[in-house]
Copies of this chain bind each other. A is one copy, B any other.
Amino acid sequence: MLGQWLALGALVGVVCGVASAAFLWLLEEATRLREANGGLVYALPLAGWVLGAVYARWGGPVRGGNNLVLETVHTGDAQVPLRMAPMVLVGTVLTHLFGGSAGREGTAVQMGGSLADWVAHRFRAGADLRRELLAAGIAGGFGSVFGTPVAGAVFGLEVVVVGRLGYEALLPALVASVVGDVVTRGLGIQHTVYPVPGALPLSVTVIGKWLVFAVGVAAVAVVFVEGLHRLKAGMEKRVPWLPLRMAMGGTAVVMLWLWVGTDAYLGLGVPGIVRAFEDPGLPVSVFAWKLAFTVVTLGTGFLGGEVTPLFFIGASLGNVLARMLGLPVDLGAAVGMAALFAAAANTPLALSIMAVELVGAGVLPHVMIVSTVAYVLTGHRGIYPAQRIGRRKD
């Protein structure tokens, strides 16, 4: 078993790492192109129409996205189609080329999941091993796309069931994530370097401030999750034809863009995250704008993920909350960034570790406190409806 876990985990890691490197390179090129040609954003409705037509025609189960991968881990039903990998990759790159506000982990998880299931199929893995390889695919995709291998492994275990972390896939997930990260970096990818916040000793006052902070994070997480689900459900009911739905979504993003009058909320928004660490005068409205852009982009069917936009929203929110509460702005941004995704995805442990891998050990007690409290406060909702509830939070 150990040999199989190491060998197949490493193989999953290699394919995930190569896929992530190609994806990140294309994403960077797309972002560069879009930044150089602002007019591309006007084509987002058209891009939505085309992507919608392609997904409507050839998507089938692929349209389930992350939830298809999670569902397959639970039920062991039909194979995750291998075509999911190229489809979500191209779809995400086009979403970003034309300025949609989306992230990367959805794409990484879906590429990783479909590639891992292909490996499982090729090596005639039994039901248990296949499930473990799927978790390894999630881990390998997540770890390699963000350059955070330990967080990737823990995410692959933690995201499957709310309130429980099973260790059955621990070794293959860690191997896939670590190997994937090494491969992606080996192919020349450089990950974003975030500012390292200064240390802040814990005290009763500081803990009290973080509790208030966590209430703010949880509230925004609920708004994001509910907004996304309601927009998605409402649009699917009223506009069942995907190409039209995505064209409408693209149009709405263009209108938001013209209204706000800045490119800051388009695409991944990495500069916006870095700014939240550093700008003591960041307007309160920033997180709300990014939230609106992202909910509209993802709620109408565009492709990508939630991590990077939620990092943007969480860091900007954290900046503002830190100033209100008298906490250091950079630490507030770092904590808000990780805790908002932790609350929205029900993954407090993975995101606390991710924060350590991104901004250092000094963030640790703080981010864990806020992530845990916000996780408990958001209740049984989350961005992945296919998550099962292993243990109720109340």
A-to-B contact residues, CB < 8 Å:
1-2, 5-6, 149-150, 153-154, 162-168, 170-171, 174, 178-179, 181-182, 186, 202-204, 207, 211, 348-349, 352-353, 356-357, 360-361, 364-365, 368-369, 372-373, 375-377, 390-391, 393-394
Contact B203 A182 (CB under 8 A): yes
Given contacts A182-B204, A365-B178, A372-B174, contact A352 B150 (CB under 8 A): yes
Q: What is the minimal beta-carbon distance from A166 to any residue of chain B, in angstroms? A: 6
Q: Is the interface of A mostly helix, strand, loop or mixed?
A: helix
Contact A168 B364 (CB under 8 A): no
Report the nearest B residue to A365, measured CB to CB. B149
Contact A349 B154 (CB under 8 A): yes
| A5 to B394 CA separation, bound complex (whole angstroms) | 10
| A162 to B349 CA separation, bound complex (whole angstroms) | 18
Contact A356 B361 (CB under 8 A): yes
Contact B164 A364 (CB under 8 A): no
Contact A164 B163 (CB under 8 A): no
Q: Which residues of B contact A181 (CB under 8 A)?
A: 202, 365
What are 14 A-B pairs with beta-carbon distances under 8 A?
Answer: A2-B377, A5-B376, A6-B211, A153-B368, A154-B349, A164-B167, A166-B390, A171-B376, A174-B369, A178-B202, A178-B365, A182-B202, A356-B361, A361-B361
Contact B365 A150 (CB under 8 A): yes
